[in-house]
């Protein structure tokens, strides 16, 4: 049975890498995939999904005005589609999340969405909120804070490289704009270790990971 999946994380957890690898697995077996990316994110070029480790692929772009169920249906009329992959899914509208659910339910095509859960102020993105509510399968893609603990929050840097407290919810950027942090250091507004604390923090993080195994 086809399902709607939401794979979420903070910044720089390798979401695009996982997406591209999963799509490749389908293609390698002679199946077709439909890749979608938000028009607002053109860091890798318009209509292109790229990972930090060098993987890349072309993709159809979507804006908030597009009907993704109809777009998928139109694509099927040209060639069979065996899976739909959506990058930067936090930029979906609530209606588009439901349109993708219809793709899974009515067209019987699995839909795998990848995106951020929360913004730099700790608030859910609209698309992420909708997917968290209706997706059949939720999976967290993990990355770590500078202290070694799991990073669940995203901090935005201002022009001085300091913790930004306000601004638009959507500002496209990479490592020079955003930093992934654990909840504790996000709450403390601590972007990096204090002098001499790096090794202690790393050891603490490693101990916690060992205990969690």
Q: Which amino acids are annotated catalytic?
A: 88
Given a contact cutoff of 8 angstroms between Cβ atoms, the answer to whether 107 and 72 are in contact is yes
- Helix (H) or strand (E) run with residue 132 in it: helix 126-134
Contact partners, residue 13, CB within 8 Å, separation at least 6: 141, 142, 143, 151, 180
What gap in Å lies between CA 146 and CA 169, rounded to an integer? Answer: 24
- The residue assigned the tokens 């139109």 is 74
- Helix (H) or strand (E) run with residue 20 in it: helix 15-28
The number of C-alpha atoms within 13 Å of 8 and in the hemisphere containing its C-beta is 23
């Amino acid at each position: 049975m086809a399902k709607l999946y939401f794979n979420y994380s903070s910044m720089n957890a390798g979401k695009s890498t996982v997406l591209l690898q999963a799509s490749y697995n389908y293609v390698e077996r002679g199946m077709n995939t439909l890749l979608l990316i938000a028009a607002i994110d053109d860091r890798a070029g318009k209509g292109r999904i790229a990972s930090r480790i060098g993987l890349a692929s072309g993709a159809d772009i979507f804006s908030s005005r597009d009907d993704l169920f109809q777009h998928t249906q139109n694509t099927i009329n040209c060639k069979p589609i065996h899976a739909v992959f959506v990058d930067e899914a936090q930029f979906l509208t609530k209606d588009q999340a439901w349109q993708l659910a219809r793709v899974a339910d009515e067209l019987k095509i699995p839909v795998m969405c990848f995106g951020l859960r929360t913004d730099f102020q700790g608030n859910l993105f609209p698309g992420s909120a909708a997917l968290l509510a209706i997706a059949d399968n939720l999976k967290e893609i993990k990355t770590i804070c500078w202290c070694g603990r799991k990073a669940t929050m995203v901090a935005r840097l201002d022009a001085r490289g300091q913790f930004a407290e306000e601004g638009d919810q959507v500002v496209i950027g990479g490592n020079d704009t955003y930093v992934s942090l654990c909840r504790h250091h996000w709450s403390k507004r601590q972007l990096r270790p204090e002098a001499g604390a790096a090794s202690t923090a790393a050891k603490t993080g490693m101990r916690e990971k060992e205990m969690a195994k």
